[in-house]
């Protein structure tokens, strides 16, 4: 027999039972045993299906919330990086900020700004002056590197896993870069294209299946800032 006090409480607050899934499952199971094995409980079957559907909906709900938080965090990261990028008053400080503050905010291990030049042999002196962020290349380098040696449609943002076979672009960091984000830059009519490269040690940080909207926005702000410096 149920204790009188417990019985009175259950009668006065039946929602306590309804809100406890384990108790409800136990009551349903006891009801099925009481009916016997030769009776099909359609209501019980429907409840089981509804419960399974509810579990799937809860899992989907959690996944959607997690994705929303991740997207919000990524948006905040890009916004902070853009504000840091707009602070410098000289081109040299601009490049230094890319390699330090912006790289730290975006959580990448290497940043490279690729500029094509018809006279790449003049690059060593320029590189020594502006640090290891700037990489001067021959015309056509950006398109070739973005394509990765394949005949594929050109996209403004490319995310991929990589294992550099030379240290031309990444320098001494080439040995541990395992994924990269490549953003093609348009500097305007009459100017050769450029490319912003973000390299990461984590092979899963940049993958082709990831969204590129935020990086496309970042690249758009970056190329407009570069047009100001180039003018």
Count other C-beta atoms under 10 Å from residue 60's C-beta.
10
Which CATH superfamily hosts domain 89-230? Answer: GAF domain (3.30.450.40)
* Phi, psi (deg, nearest 5) at residue 87: -70, -45
Supply the pLDDT for residue 154.
80
pLDDT per residue over 205-223, tens digit each?
A: 999 888 888 999 999 999 9
Please compute the mean of the pLDDT values over residues 37-55 and round it to a whole number. Answer: 69
144 three-class SS:
helix
**Residues 6 or more apart whose Cβ sits within 8 Å of residue 81:** 101, 102, 105, 106, 218
Please compute the mean of the pLDDT values over residues 115-128 and round it to a whole number. Answer: 64
Where are the domains positioned within the chain? 89-230
Residue 117 has pLDDT above 70, yes or no: yes
pLDDT per residue over 148-207, tens digit each?
A: 777 777 888 999 999 887 788 888 888 899 999 999 999 888 889 999 999 999 999 999
Residue 126 has pLDDT above 80, yes or no: no
Q: The whole model's pTM is what? A: 0.68
């Amino acid at each position: 027999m149920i204790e009188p006090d417990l019985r009175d409480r259950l009668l006065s607050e039946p929602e306590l039972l309804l809100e406890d899934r384990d108790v409800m499952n136990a009551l349903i199971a006891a009801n099925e045993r009481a009916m016997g094995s030769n009776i099909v409980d359609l209501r019980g079957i429907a409840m089981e299906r509804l419960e399974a559907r509810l579990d799937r909906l809860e899992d989907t709900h959690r996944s959607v919330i997690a994705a929303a938080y991740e997207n919000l965090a990524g948006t905040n990261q890009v916004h902070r990086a853009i504000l840091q990028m707009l602070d410098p008053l000289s081109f040299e400080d601009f490049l230094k900020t890319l390699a330090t503050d912006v790289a730290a905010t975006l959580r990448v291990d290497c940043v490279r700004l690729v500029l094509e030049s018809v006279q790449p042999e003049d690059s060593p002196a320029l590189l020594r002056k502006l640090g290891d962020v700037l990489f001067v290349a021959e015309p056509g380098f950006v398109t070739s590197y973005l394509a990765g040696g394949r005949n594929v449609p050109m996209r403004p943002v490319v995310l991929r896993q990589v294992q550099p076979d030379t240290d031309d672009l990444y320098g001494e960091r080439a040995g541990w870069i395992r994924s990269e984000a490549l953003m093609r830059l348009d500097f305007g009519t009459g100017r050769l294209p450029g490319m912003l490269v973000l390299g990461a040690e984590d092979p899963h940080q940049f993958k082709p299946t990831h969204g590129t909207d935020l990086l496309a926005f970042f690249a758009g702000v970056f190329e407009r800032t570069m047009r100001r410096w180039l003018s």
